[in-house]
Amino acid sequence: MKIADKICAGKNNQKTLAVFFIQPFIAFLLAISQLKSKYSFAVIFSFFVLFGFTFLAQNESFDSFRYIERFHQCIPYDSVQYQHDIADFFTFQSKIKDLYVITSYFIVSRFTNNYHVLMALWAAVFSFFCLKSFRFFVDRPEFEKSLAVFLLAFLFLSSNSIFNINGVRFWTAAWVAVYVVFEMVVNKNYKFIVLSLLTPLIHISYLFFVGVLIVFLLTRKFENIWILLFFISFFVSEISIQLFRNYQEHLPPFIQSMIWSYAAEENLAEHRRVTEQIPLYAKILNSLPRYFLNLLMFVFIGYYKRMSSLKSGRVVFIFLLIWLSFVNLTMAIPSFGSRFIALSVPFICYLGLLTYRHIPMLPKLIYLIPVVYSYSILYWCRAMISVTDPYLIISVFPHIVIKNLL
């Protein structure tokens, strides 16, 4: 690019940032159309925070409604109560499952009872790690304007979209975990394992992420063994519930409680009851993403030798083998493996970006993304409509802010 073109592009980027403070949604659309630009990520981050600030936590069937109820209950809490909760958490006997939410309750409630501020804080943390992770994808030299790249970028972000501040704990920890892996696997910054230790403080189930990360660091040279284990895990996932039950009593109480909440017989029975009521077509469409991701891994395995020649592709590939082996073995546990599989999507998209020009059948599979995720996209749209303030789309920045402050 010529110097004059760079100067012109820089001015356009600054204009996009300026537009945000007039009409945020238009600026957001401009930003996603020019992801390589300097200010695009700043605009996207700002829009996501504004989305959190305008989030409508009014749907009683959503987690966000209960989070906000709890926030209002915690407003009278003083520092003594907060310190007691912190101490209780670290006894490892507590039913308190995280520190992130109760800490954010305490901080925000010190100066306001406006839940929009709380949601904006959650959106800021969520978006920070989301976009730091997405930067690894966008900064690749293979990132260019094409349908395949667009679909991979869409899948990368939609795998854990900004809507998920609705269920803030698990999904915020997910982007922190993804960012940690990118730093460790691509940049080889192994000091980021310290950051991984914070994920269980956001959602206690991420103790398993830390465990898998340690396994990866210790066994990443044994890719052939992990290829075999990946195939095995795909076919024997149903036995995972019984394995967890058999060894549950030997684990710390807080982990026992977590496993019980996922794998107790009554909870599994309730999950089966709800599942049986779902129409057959919905069951098929809901299961497509899981099989699609595993199919992509089978393709990557088939072209493993080509993957080995890529600088960071091989290590990402090995991490995915280990991670998906873990996920497949826990897939039968409701709300466990089925949620953790989302963490694999950014890395599959990253591998897809690196290899789609080298693997003949891969572009054709990428073009199937809108079909495979059609059911998920439909429900995402419905959910977004129910929590999005229409003024975020049609109004101007000053009005949007003032409306939600008062």
Nearest to 205 by CA among 346, 343, 347, 86: 343
Cα(first)–Cα(last) distance of the chain, in Å? 47
Using CA atoms, how far apart are residues 36 and 19, in angstroms rounded to an integer?
18
Write down the residue that tokens 């929590």 correspond to: 387
Q: pLDDT by residue (tens digit) across 334-380?
A: 667 778 999 999 999 999 999 998 898 999 999 999 999 999 999 99
39 vs 397, residue with greater confidence: 397
The structure tokens listed for 358 are 């080298």
The pLDDT assigned to 256 comes to 52
Nearest to 35 by CA among 177, 153, 184: 153
| CA within 13 Å, CB half, 175 | 28
Task: State the average pLDDT for the chain.
Answer: 85
Confidence class for position 329, pLDDT limits 50, 70, 90:
confident
Using CA atoms, how far apart are residues 366 and 369, in angstroms rounded to an integer?
6
Task: Please check whether residue 253 is in contact with residue 88, taking contact to mean a CB–CB distance below 8 angstroms.
Answer: no
**pLDDT at 153 exceeding the cut of 70:** yes
**pLDDT at 386 exceeding the cut of 60:** yes
Q: Which of 8-17, 168-177, 312-321 is the most confident on average?
A: 168-177
Q: What are phi and psi of 327, to 5 degrees?
A: -65, -45
- Exposure string (b/e) for 371-393, b if CB count within 10 Å is 16 or more? ebbebeeeeeeebeeebebeebe
The pLDDT assigned to 406 comes to 81
Q: Give CA separation, 180 vs 47, 132, 168, 351, in Å.
A: 24, 10, 18, 17
Percent of the chain at pLDDT above 70? 82
pTM of the model: 0.88
* DSSP H or E run through 168: helix 168-185
Q: pLDDT by residue (tens digit) across 209-250?
A: 999 999 999 998 888 899 999 888 888 765 555 555 555 555
Confidence class for position 328, pLDDT limits 50, 70, 90:
confident
Using CA atoms, how far apart are residues 291 and 373, in angstroms rounded to an integer?
11
Cβ neighbour number for residue 341 with a 10 Å cutoff: 21
